[in-house]
Amino acid sequence: MTFEHPAKKGDENGLGRFEKLAELASNFTSSAAFSVFCVLLVAAFIVVHLAHLDTSWQHLVGDAMGAVALLLLALLKNSERRAEHAIQVKLDAIAAALLEQQEEGEWGQAHKDLQKAIGLEHRE
Protein backbone atom coordinates (compact mmCIF):
# COMPACT_ATOMS: atom_id res chain seq x y z
CA MET A 1 0.00 0.00 0.00
CA THR A 2 1.40 3.35 -1.01
CA PHE A 3 0.41 6.79 0.15
CA GLU A 4 0.79 8.72 -3.06
CA HIS A 5 -1.46 11.47 -4.35
CA PRO A 6 -4.75 10.02 -5.68
CA ALA A 7 -4.24 11.78 -9.01
CA LYS A 8 -0.90 10.02 -9.55
CA LYS A 9 -2.27 6.50 -9.13
CA GLY A 10 -4.14 4.47 -11.67
CA ASP A 11 -3.93 2.89 -15.07
CA GLU A 12 -3.25 4.44 -18.45
CA ASN A 13 -6.49 6.44 -18.22
CA GLY A 14 -5.29 8.01 -15.01
CA LEU A 15 -7.90 6.44 -12.74
CA GLY A 16 -7.38 3.35 -10.63
CA ARG A 17 -10.14 1.08 -9.35
CA PHE A 18 -10.63 3.09 -6.17
CA GLU A 19 -10.65 6.37 -8.07
CA LYS A 20 -13.26 5.02 -10.50
CA LEU A 21 -15.36 3.81 -7.58
CA ALA A 22 -14.92 7.15 -5.81
CA GLU A 23 -15.99 8.98 -8.98
CA LEU A 24 -19.11 6.81 -9.34
CA ALA A 25 -19.93 7.21 -5.65
CA SER A 26 -19.36 10.96 -5.92
CA ASN A 27 -21.80 11.12 -8.82
CA PHE A 28 -24.34 9.06 -6.86
CA THR A 29 -24.00 11.12 -3.68
CA SER A 30 -24.69 14.30 -5.62
CA SER A 31 -27.91 12.84 -7.04
CA ALA A 32 -31.47 13.42 -5.91
CA ALA A 33 -31.82 9.73 -4.99
CA PHE A 34 -29.05 10.02 -2.40
CA SER A 35 -30.57 13.21 -1.01
CA VAL A 36 -33.88 11.37 -0.56
CA PHE A 37 -32.00 8.50 1.14
CA CYS A 38 -30.37 10.95 3.58
CA VAL A 39 -33.69 12.64 4.35
CA LEU A 40 -35.25 9.23 5.01
CA LEU A 41 -32.33 8.26 7.24
CA VAL A 42 -32.69 11.45 9.28
CA ALA A 43 -36.47 10.96 9.43
CA ALA A 44 -35.92 7.41 10.70
CA PHE A 45 -33.58 8.78 13.34
CA ILE A 46 -36.21 11.26 14.51
CA VAL A 47 -39.03 8.69 14.45
CA VAL A 48 -37.00 6.15 16.43
CA HIS A 49 -36.23 8.71 19.12
CA LEU A 50 -39.75 10.19 19.27
CA ALA A 51 -41.30 6.72 19.43
CA HIS A 52 -38.96 5.79 22.31
CA LEU A 53 -38.11 2.51 20.60
CA ASP A 54 -35.59 0.11 22.04
CA THR A 55 -32.04 1.46 22.24
CA SER A 56 -30.88 -1.19 19.77
CA TRP A 57 -32.95 0.57 17.09
CA GLN A 58 -31.52 3.91 18.11
CA HIS A 59 -28.00 2.50 17.86
CA LEU A 60 -28.75 0.95 14.47
CA VAL A 61 -30.00 4.20 12.96
CA GLY A 62 -27.23 6.22 14.60
CA ASP A 63 -24.55 3.81 13.39
CA ALA A 64 -25.97 3.95 9.85
CA MET A 65 -25.80 7.74 9.91
CA GLY A 66 -22.22 7.61 11.22
CA ALA A 67 -21.17 5.14 8.53
CA VAL A 68 -22.70 7.27 5.77
CA ALA A 69 -20.97 10.37 7.16
CA LEU A 70 -17.59 8.61 7.29
CA LEU A 71 -17.93 7.33 3.72
CA LEU A 72 -18.91 10.79 2.52
CA LEU A 73 -15.88 12.27 4.25
CA ALA A 74 -13.53 9.80 2.51
CA LEU A 75 -15.15 10.46 -0.87
CA LEU A 76 -15.00 14.21 -0.37
CA LYS A 77 -11.31 14.14 0.54
CA ASN A 78 -10.43 11.94 -2.46
CA SER A 79 -12.38 14.17 -4.81
CA GLU A 80 -10.83 17.29 -3.29
CA ARG A 81 -7.28 15.98 -3.72
CA ARG A 82 -7.84 15.00 -7.35
CA ALA A 83 -9.43 18.38 -8.14
CA GLU A 84 -6.60 20.21 -6.37
CA HIS A 85 -4.03 18.34 -8.44
CA ALA A 86 -5.89 19.06 -11.69
CA ILE A 87 -6.06 22.77 -10.86
CA GLN A 88 -2.35 22.85 -10.05
CA VAL A 89 -1.45 21.14 -13.34
CA LYS A 90 -3.56 23.69 -15.23
CA LEU A 91 -2.00 26.61 -13.38
CA ASP A 92 1.48 25.28 -14.12
CA ALA A 93 0.58 24.98 -17.81
CA ILE A 94 -0.72 28.56 -17.86
CA ALA A 95 2.40 29.83 -16.10
CA ALA A 96 4.66 27.94 -18.52
CA ALA A 97 2.73 29.33 -21.50
CA LEU A 98 3.07 32.86 -20.14
CA LEU A 99 6.81 32.37 -19.75
CA GLU A 100 7.11 31.09 -23.32
CA GLN A 101 5.33 34.19 -24.62
CA GLN A 102 7.84 36.52 -23.01
CA GLU A 103 10.16 38.16 -25.43
CA GLU A 104 13.86 37.74 -24.92
CA GLY A 105 15.51 40.50 -23.00
CA GLU A 106 15.25 41.72 -19.48
CA TRP A 107 12.55 40.15 -17.41
CA GLY A 108 10.90 41.83 -14.49
CA GLN A 109 10.35 40.56 -10.98
CA ALA A 110 6.90 39.21 -11.90
CA HIS A 111 8.50 36.98 -14.53
CA LYS A 112 11.03 35.66 -12.02
CA ASP A 113 8.30 35.05 -9.44
CA LEU A 114 6.21 33.21 -12.01
CA GLN A 115 9.14 31.00 -12.97
CA LYS A 116 9.79 30.17 -9.29
CA ALA A 117 6.11 29.33 -8.75
CA ILE A 118 6.00 26.58 -11.38
CA GLY A 119 5.98 23.26 -9.54
CA LEU A 120 6.17 24.95 -6.13
CA GLU A 121 3.74 22.42 -4.60
CA HIS A 122 6.23 19.61 -5.34
CA ARG A 123 9.12 21.34 -3.59
CA GLU A 124 7.34 22.11 -0.32
Contact 72, 29 (CB under 8 A): yes
Q: What is the pLDDT of residue 69?
A: 92
Q: Three-class SS string for 46-85?
A: HHHHHCCCCHHHHHHHHHHHHHHHHHHHHHHHHHHHHHHH
Percent of the chain surpassing pLDDT 70: 77
- Kindly report, residue by residue over 65-108, the tens digit of the pLDDT: 999 999 888 888 888 888 888 888 888 888 877 777 765 556 67
Q: Is the pTM of this model over 0.75?
A: no
In the predicted structure, residue 122 carries a pLDDT above the cut 70: no
